Amino acid sequence: MTNDLLTSYTLPNGVKLKNRIVMAPMTNFSSNNDGTVTEAEVNYYSRRSHGVSMVITACTYVTPNGKGFPGEFGADNDEMIPSLEKLANGIKKNGAKAILQIFHGGRMCPADLVPDGDVVSASNIPAAGENNPVPRPLSEQEIENIINSFGETVRRAIEAGFDGVEIHGANGYLIQQFFSPHSNRRDDRFGGSIEKRMAFPLAVVDRVTETVKKHANFPFIVGYRFSPEEAETPGITMEDTLELVNTLADKELDYLHVSLNDFTSKPRRGVDDLNKTRLEYLLETINNRVPLIGVGSIYSAVDARRAFATGIPLIALGRELIIDPDWVEKLETGKEDEIVTELNKNRQQELVVPDPLWNIITNTPGWFPGID
């Protein structure tokens, strides 16, 4: 079974991945204030790109008002291409495919990070929780401009030498905000019925794939990440997500990527059998039309085998590749009993983790195994 995780896999566009293990996208808070990539960031990715088949970067913003985090790197103008190129080269030199995750933070953007504090979303509904800004609803023209910005960012990714992009439609950011009945209360062509709530996500997908056809002279990977459910009422249900995924599976995508905290999690509502896992429902709906990447609390080789046994073709490791960047190599060389599954707080230099990310990890009890 170990070897199955290490077998190659060919994506729909013909790109061959050397194994089934992918580095999941994780925010690292470690870029320069001007949005350029730091050397520490490049080294962090390079350290983790030896064994995995693909590295999906932290998300990058496609417009200035889409910046969601301090220390996030930008891809919103052509001046960023040299910075993006450094990142792509740092990943690719060690044999992994470099995938740029592209996003707009929408109502999740801190007001002090966007021009004039102008936080925008589908509607004027703030995110759940205290002290979140009330966003300004985007006009239809502004929506079209953001769709165009996604396309322009893909062009920059191609010029910078990335092997692909991942459209970030998960974790409560702008694309998900348009799909969600919680954050989208519009009554125009971008809101209302589930078909209209899908209009913005699907327009982004179409613009991205059109841009690839126009600008990439090599097989360029396009993926889409989504979150299966929201806790809010109204909010995205498992039924909603299965309808979205059913539509996405017929688009020109090379993979879908579900965002989960736990690989084995079960739906909270919207389906008949709440004892089946979300992944089982997703795999049934997709029915082999497009590869699905699964993720969520996979640390040991035993965890990975258990996940792979569900029939999912690709597995993403996030926190575990920060804990042990040599995870894949240990599996390859028969040293899986040496895989480290708890973070050692004394190994920052050896693990090559930038200071801003390390400080957040070590000061957030319960986020990483070993951090109490």
User: Which of the residues are catalytic?
Assistant: 173
| Residue 317, helix vs strand vs coil | strand
As a whole number of angstroms, the distance between CA 86 and CA 36 comes to 10
Evaluate the CA torsion angle 279, 59, 211, 54 in order and state its sign: negative
Q: What DSSP state is assigned to residue 337?
A: G
Cα–Cα–Cα angle for 269, 174, 12, rounded to 5 degrees: 80
In one letter, which amino acid is 276?
Answer: K
Which single residue is written with the structure tokens 């966003």? 135
Answer yes or no: are the C-beta atoms of 310 and 294 closer than 8 Å: yes
- For residues 367 and 320, the answer to whether their CB atoms sit within 8 Å is no
Radius of gyration of the chain (CA): 19
Question: Do residues 22 and 9 touch, judged by C-beta distance below 8 A?
Answer: no
- List the beta bridge partners of residue 256: 224, 292
Cβ atoms of 176 and 226 within 8 Å: the answer is yes
Query: Is 334 within 8 Å of 35 (Cβ atoms)?
Result: no
